[in-house]
């Protein structure tokens, strides 16, 4: 593994290690200022960092990592109750804010590389089933995950990474911030992920969530500028097939899609040197194993038809939630595989399609197991449909019936139902269609289906 932040602590001269908006830092400047932070926090059990999109936030996080102190990123818009829970649960001794960090500081300390098995980050889940759970992520897990992505995406120091994602999630923080500091590729963070900012950045590797790519696909001038890129990567939520096709048409690039969780980092991805399939997230990355299981734990075949819970194991998978023994018992199988709670199919050639969450996207209706994601993909191909979310709702006769929430125009319930019935098995057609102005989403652009219930 060597050192976690190889390019930062090595001898490579990076004149522009990162740029946040108008603020640029070279490798030596970042290392000096981060070492000054390490001098302040060394020996602390954990330190929370208010994770605003700012070069000073990056410096605070890197300083803690240099000192071997676990970092607890706190969303800057977190409410009082959420913030209090995160600080108490994590044991963070202090909170660092961007305005406390001096980018011109010169650290005095010298720090040996911490234990690879030590905790680098304590990330918190979305809390959709109760208070957010703390996920300790080790240094070795981050290193293994980033190296696997370098293999899958041909990520090298010759790349310039561009994104405008929040830096308190795996996508923006681990991939989008620590990735460049490990692989030596300069980072351009646009602060906000606006199409014009992406177009002006001049990068080779771009990260975005589906909402970002959808907006770029709707802005031909900005999309045109991305023709010079090497790779576009989409994650954190499913990328609608029409957006995939539109991006390919406008930019000349079929985006890479990948799948992961806070608890596992990125485990499945399509590859830079391979094909891309709309609606599918590729094959397991280096070192990761996957399988499907039914409700009884029976392992299902990889035949592209069987729908089951996706289970994973490998060097990036965490070992358990903070202070949650009961949750940990449920999270792992008897033979040590992590139960993702996501429902998927796996094709015989290893390609994965994520159907959605078992709790919201696996619909059991009339004896059938129906994946909400399959219906959503079909509906996004219907003229007039801009967004859609499908859920199961209780039904005395069927157990659950299919309900579709549709954002669109000039559509009727009959058109929506008939379109699904023509494309899929009749039992998968929505029994109800609700037309809405917008779908509820979280900060990463994921639809929050619990609110639709």
Find all residues with CB under 8 Å of 415, minimum gap 6, and list them: 382
The region, left, alpha or beta by phi > 0 then psi within -120 to 50, assigned to residue 50 is beta
Section 130-159 average pLDDT: 94
Is 310:352 a contact under the CB 8 Å cutoff? Answer: yes
Q: Which residue intervals of the chain bear CATH 3.40.50.12780?
A: 6-192
Q: Torsion over CA of 280, 285, 287 and 288, rounded to 10 degrees?
A: -20
Mean confidence (pLDDT) of the chain:
91
The predicted structure's pLDDT at residue 127: 54
Q: In this prediction, what percent of the chain has a pLDDT beyond 70?
A: 96
Q: Rounded distance, CA 274 to CA 284, Å?
A: 13
Q: Which residue intervals of the chain bear CATH 2.30.38.10?
A: 257-357
Which of 78-82, 174-178, 312-316, 435-439 has the least mean pLDDT?
A: 78-82
Q: Which residue intervals of the chain bear CATH 3.30.300.30?
A: 366-452
Domain 6-192 belongs in CATH node 3.40.50.12780: yes
Predicted TM-score of the model (pTM):
0.84
Domain 366-452 belongs in CATH node 3.40.50.1970: no
Which of 60-69, 302-311, 323-332, 355-364 has the least mean pLDDT?
A: 355-364
Could you tell me whether strands 308-313 and 338-346 are parallel, antiparallel, or unpaired per DSSP bridges? antiparallel
The predicted structure's pLDDT at residue 1: 37
What does the pLDDT look like over 196-247, one tens digit per residue? Answer: 999 999 999 999 988 899 899 999 999 999 999 999 999 987 888 889 999 9
Is 81:103 a contact under the CB 8 Å cutoff? Answer: no
Domain 257-357 belongs in CATH node 2.30.38.10: yes
Question: Given a cut of 90, is residue 87 above it in pLDDT?
Answer: yes
Section 148-159 average pLDDT: 97
What does the pLDDT look like over 37-48, one tens digit per residue? Answer: 999 999 999 999
**Helix/strand/coil for 188:** strand
Which of 121-130, 260-269, 308-317, 378-387 has the least mean pLDDT?
A: 121-130
Nearest Cα to 413, choosing from 391, 439, 382?
Answer: 382
Q: Rounded distance, CA 387 to CA 407, Å?
A: 5
Residue 275 confidence class, pLDDT cut points 50, 70, 90: very high
Nearest Cα to 189, choosing from 92, 298, 56?
Answer: 56
Nearest Cα to 200, choosing from 18, 17, 21?
Answer: 21
């Amino acid at each position: 593994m060597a050192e976690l932040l190889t390019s930062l602590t090595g001898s490579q001269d990076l004149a522009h290690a990162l740029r946040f908006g108008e603020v640029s830092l070279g490798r030596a400047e970042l290392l000096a200022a981060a070492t000054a932070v390490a001098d302040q926090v060394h020996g602390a059990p954990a330190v929370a960092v208010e994770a605003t999109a700012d070069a000073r936030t990056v410096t605070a996080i890197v300083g803690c990592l240099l000192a071997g102190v676990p970092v607890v990123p706190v969303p800057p818009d977190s409410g009082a109750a959420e913030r209090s829970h995160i600080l108490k649960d994590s044991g963070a001794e202090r909170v660092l804010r961007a305005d406390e960090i001096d980018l011109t500081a010169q650290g005095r300390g010298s720090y040996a590389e911490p234990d690879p098995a030590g905790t680098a980050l304590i990330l918190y889940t979305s809390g959709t089933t109760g208070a957010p759970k703390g996920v300790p992520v080790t240094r070795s897990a981050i290193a293994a995950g980033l190296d696997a992505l370098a293999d899958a995406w041909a990520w090298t120091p010759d790349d310039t990474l561009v994104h405008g994602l929040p830096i308190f999630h795996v996508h923006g923080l681990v991939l989008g911030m620590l990735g460049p500091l490990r692989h030596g590729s300069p980072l351009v963070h646009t602060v906000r992920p606006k199409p014009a900012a992406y177009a002006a950045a001049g990068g080779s590797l771009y990260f975005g969530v589906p909402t970002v790519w959808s907006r770029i696909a709707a802005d031909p001038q900005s999309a045109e500028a991305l023709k010079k890129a090497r790779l576009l990567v989409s994650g954190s939520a499913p990328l609608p097939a029409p957006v995939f096709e539109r991006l390919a048409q406008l930019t000349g690039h079929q985006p890479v899609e990948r799948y992961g969780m806070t608890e596992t980092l990125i485990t499945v991805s399509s590859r830079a040197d391979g094909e891309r399939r709309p609606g599918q997230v590729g094959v397991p990355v280096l070192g990761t194993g996957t399988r499907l299981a039914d409700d009884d734990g029976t392992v299902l075949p990889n035949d592209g038809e069987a729908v089951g819970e996706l289970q994973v194991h490998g060097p990036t998978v965490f070992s358990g939630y903070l202070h949650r023994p009961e949750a940990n018992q449920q999270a792992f199988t008897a033979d040590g595989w992590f139960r993702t709670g996501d429902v998927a199919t796996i094709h015989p050639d290893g390609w994965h399609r994520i159907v959605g969450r078992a709790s919201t996207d696996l619909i059991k209706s009339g004896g059938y197991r129906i994946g909400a994601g399959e219906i959503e993909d079909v509906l996004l191909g219907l003229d007039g449909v801009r967004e859609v979310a499908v859920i199961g709702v209780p039904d005395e006769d069927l157990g659950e019936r299919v309900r579709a929430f549709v954002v669109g125009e000039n559509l009727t319930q009959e058109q929506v139902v008939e379109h699904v019935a023509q494309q899929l098995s009749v039992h998968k057609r929505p029994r109800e269609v609700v037309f809405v102005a917008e779908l509820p989403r979280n900060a990463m652009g994921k639809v929050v289906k619990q609110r639709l219930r």
